[in-house]
Amino acid sequence: MTTPQKLAVLLIAMIIAFGAAWQVQAWRYAGKLASQAALLAEDLNNLTQAALRQQQTEQDKRLATEQQLAVSDQQHTRELSNAQRNQALLRDRLATADVRLSVLLDSTDTASGCNVSAAPGTVGVVHAARRAQLDPAHAQRIIGITDAGDQGLIALRACQSYVRSIAR
């Protein structure tokens, strides 16, 4: 074999070795890429599962809060309707004179001009302090004011329970 032939054989052998090494490196690189892709897919799957669990937890919390608010709203509505019913009954009783609102009189006040004794006597059945009855119209206004106050207190309690439920 001549030198150019040896050189050609050597060059062909080098090209074959270089091609084989290139192919082996490509296989190894493809294997690494495939394993990295599998790891990435597994990581993405884990992240997705964690996000779904967190979303479900938040949804459960929201549903629980909605249920608590519904119960609180029902209780608030019940309290409000009870207060309104009681106020309406009292207004009706005041209007029909079944009940008369009265105020305590100061027994030490000499300007009141009332000479009724503050001490209970044997003449009457009332054994309490002296009282003066209010005019029915004034009594109705007082009941209206207390009705608004009761409704405000009920609304305040409802707001406070709402804030407590949110703060939890």
Q: pLDDT, tens digit, for every residue of 45-75?
A: 999 999 999 999 999 999 998 898 888 889 8
Structure tokens at 19: 């091609």
Mean local confidence (pLDDT), 75-89? 85
C-alpha 150/C-alpha 98 separation (Å) is 22
**Reduced to 3 states, what is the DSSP secondary structure of residue 131?**
strand
C-alpha 155/C-alpha 14 separation (Å) is 92
Mean local confidence (pLDDT), 93-119? 64
Domain ranges in the chain are: 1-34, 58-106+129-168
**Would the pTM count as exceeding 0.75?**
no
E-strand ranges in the chain read 102-104, 131-133
Structure tokens at 106: 């100061």
C-alpha 33/C-alpha 165 separation (Å) is 51
Contacts of 166 (CB under 8 A, 6+ apart): 65
Per the CB < 8 A criterion, the answer to whether 95 and 136 are in contact is yes
Mean local confidence (pLDDT), 109-128? 53
Distances (CA, A) of 30 to 14, 23, 34, 36, 71: 24, 10, 6, 10, 61
pLDDT averaged over the chain?
Answer: 82
